[in-house]
Structure 1
C-alpha cells in the first residue's frame, strides 16, 4: 500500500496550504478574542471584588449603628397600647355592652400611662392596681369591684381583671 502522489498536483498543494494558513489565522483570531474576553472578565471580577469589600465594610458600619440604636431604644421603650379584659363576666351573667363599657372606663382611668417609658410604668404598677381596684363599678343597678388578676407590662400593657360583688 502506498500514499497517493498528491504532492505533484498544485491544486492539492494549494488546498493543503490554504488549510494550514486558515488554521493558523483562525487560531490567532481565537486567541485574540479569548484574550480580550478574559481581560474583560478579569476586570469585571476585580470590580466586583472591590464592590463586595466596600459593601461588607458599609454593612459592618450599618450593623454597628443599628446595634447602638437598639440599645438606646430598649432603654427608652414606651407604652403604645393598653389592653383591658374582664375574664369572669359570664359568672355574673353580664351583658357584653356593660362589660365593654367597664373595660373602656378602666382604659380611660389609666390612659395616662400611654407614651410613658416602661420603667416608669413598671415602677407605678402598684398605683395602677390601686386605681383599678379602688373604683367601684355600677352595672345593672348592682355595685361591683374589680380585681387585677394579671398584668403584663411591655409596649402593650395587658391587664386581666376579675369582677366581684362589692
Structure 2
C-alpha cells in the first residue's frame, strides 16, 4: 500500500500549508486570549484575597473592641435607683404621708447600695432584707415591722414591703 502523491499537486500543498499556518495563528490567538483572561482572573483573585485579609483583620479588631466594650458594660452595671413600695398600707388605714415617710426611711437605710455593681447588691440581698425587717417603725403610737415581699435587683433596686403590727 502506498500513500497518494498529494505533495505534488499545488492545490493540496496550499491546503495543507493553509491548515498549518491557520493552526499556528489560531494557537497564537488562543494562547494570547487565554493569557489575558488568566492574567485578569489572577489579578481579580489577588485583589479578592487582599480584601478578604483586610476584612478578616477588620473583623478581628471589631470583635476585640466588642469584647472589651462588653467587659466594660458588665463592669458598669450598677444600681442607679432604689424603689420602695408598701403594698398593704390600706389594711392598717395608714395615710399616704405615713407610707411615704416609711418608704423614705427604708430608702435612707439601704442607700448604701446606690452606685454599687449589681453583683455586690445581689450578694448582699440577705443583708438588705435583715436591715429592713429588723427596723421597727413607730407610727401614731403604734409599732410596726416591715416584711420584704419581693425584691428585684437590676439597675433599679425595687423592693415591695408589707407592713404588720409588731408583737
Smaller-chain TM-score range?
0.5 to 0.7
Q: For 2:108 and 2:63, how far apart are their aligned partners in 1?
A: 41
Going from structure 1 to structure 2, the CA distance change for 1:93 and 1:60 (only over 3 Å counts) comes to farther
Runs of at least 4 residues off by over 6 Å: 57-60
Secondary structure in structure 1 of the residue aligned to 2:90: coil
Q: For 2:103 and 2:59, how far apart are their aligned partners in 1?
A: 47
- Describe the superposition over 1:53-79 as per-residue Cα deviations: whole angstroms up to 9, x where unpaired: x9xx87985575244212332144111
Secondary structure in structure 1 of the residue aligned to 2:78: coil
Question: What residue in structure 1 maps to residue 144 of structure 2?
Answer: 144
Q: What is the deviation of 1:81?
A: 0.5
Q: Does 1:120 align with 2:120?
A: yes
Alignment: residue pair count:
113
TM-score when scaled to structure 2? Answer: 0.61
Q: For 1:97 and 1:63, how far apart are their aligned partners in 2?
A: 53
Q: For 2:112 and 2:128, how far apart are their aligned partners in 1?
A: 10
Q: Which has the larger radius of gyration?
A: 2
Q: For 1:58 and 1:102, how far apart are their aligned partners in 2?
A: 56
TM-score when scaled to structure 1? Answer: 0.61
Q: For 2:126 and 2:148, how far apart are their aligned partners in 1?
A: 10
